[in-house]
A and B are shown apart, each in its own frame.
Chain A
Amino acid sequence: MQYNTHVFLNELREQAETHLQMAIRDWQNLTPEQLGQTPTPGKWSAAQCLEHLNFYGRHYMTACETAINRAKQKGSIPSPVYQPGWLGAKFTRMMQPGAKAMESPANARPAAQPDAIQMLQEFIEHNEKLLQLLSQAETINLEKVKAPTSLSALLRLQLGDTFAFYLAHQARHVLQIQRALGA
């Protein structure tokens, strides 16, 4: 499936903007206790979901920024159409809300009681950064430029797929946060 690159990036931007608005309008006005509540024993609290998302945010925001800067230096030229790679598309599908539940890697599992305020602030920062990177991504080729996944530096995805997969994963946990908060 091919996309118009501009539309593709705009949809990702809208998704990030929606998540960011929930965080700014609603979550940041809750108490740390509300954010730290687990809905049922064994399920993650909103703060734990945020810590889990931040684990990926730390990796992917740095990895994408580095990839974009390098591509700009090399004079990468944007293409009007975007074609996801087969692996990237598969990863995105696996992450989308509604897809089969999966076990998080051990290093991405949150602490029992993370600092909710810090975690939320960091989540907002990652998403502000993400929006800036999505704007910068308009100036480079999203297929040719690749970024390393958090699984392995050797496993690299097209930058467009990296953004799509990152946001699909985030969308999944945003729903989980809403459930945890009883929204």
Chain B
Amino acid sequence: MNAYNHLSAFLQGIYPLSDAEMAAMLAVWQPFSARRKEILTPEGQTERYAYFVLEGVQRACFTHPDGRDITLVFTYPYSFSGIADSFLLQKPSKFTFETLTPSQFLRAPYAAIKSMMDEHRNIERLLFRATAVALEGVLYRQAELQSFSSEEKFRALLARSPHVLTLIPHKYLASYIGVDATNFSKLLNSIRIA
């Protein structure tokens, strides 16, 4: 499958589009690649693109006033990426979007997505549904953060994304779970023994 087939399959999975709608939608996406640890959207800048991940891992992070950076979410193939709230609202981002490994994307500028939504009712429905699914994920993660122990959060992460241990530097996983490097190493040991 080429890049556009992946995007097409992904979009059809969210909401069915006619051939004409799909062709119009696919036409606004362009290939884009980035090296490891490239900042694609710095904090304070408005997200200009919707990204569709073809290869690599990325993260959105929040910089605490004391300087620590906290990983909020990882993205992998095949899914949307970028700072969704900043993109949809066209407001400056409170977060930083960066690659964690060399990455390949398709991406579409805001103006093009906006005109797609204005012209095609089904594309608007598709993006409404994609936003709802993202919200579902965010609320579930919120529940996890408030109720799970570190070990439960660690296990939930590995259940969702078992490949991350050999793909992402553990400091980012540790910050996603909310533990330091030493405690992360202990969590890792606990699953080795189990």
Contact = CB atoms under 8 A, between A and B. Distances in A.
Interface in A1-44: 13, 17, 20, 23-26, 28-29, 31-32
B36 A17 contact: yes
B192 A124 contact: no
Contact of B36 (A20, A29, A31, A32): A20
Contacts of A94: none
Nearest to B37: A128
Interface residues of B, number: 18
Contact of B167 (A24, A32, A125, A131): A24
A24 B102 contact: no
A121 B166 contact: no
B94 interface: no
B172 to A, nearest CB: 10
A13 B36 CA distance: 10
A161 to B, nearest CB: 22
A118 interface: yes
Interface of A is mostly: helix
Interface centre among A17, A26, A29, A117 (most CB of B within 10 A): A117
B188 A135 contact: no
A135 B99 CA distance: 14
Size class of the contact patch on chain A: 20 to 34
B165 A29 contact: yes
Interface of A: 13, 17, 20, 23-26, 28-29, 31-32, 117-118, 121, 124-125, 128, 131-132, 135
25 contacts: A13-B35, A17-B36, A23-B169, A24-B166, A24-B167, A26-B166, A28-B165, A29-B166, A29-B188, A31-B189, A31-B192, A32-B185, A118-B182, A121-B169, A121-B170, A121-B171, A121-B181, A124-B169, A124-B171, A125-B171, A128-B37, A128-B169, A131-B36, A132-B37, A132-B38
Given A25-B167, A32-B185, 12 more contacts: A17-B102, A20-B36, A25-B166, A26-B166, A28-B169, A28-B170, A29-B165, A29-B188, A31-B192, A121-B171, A124-B171, A125-B171
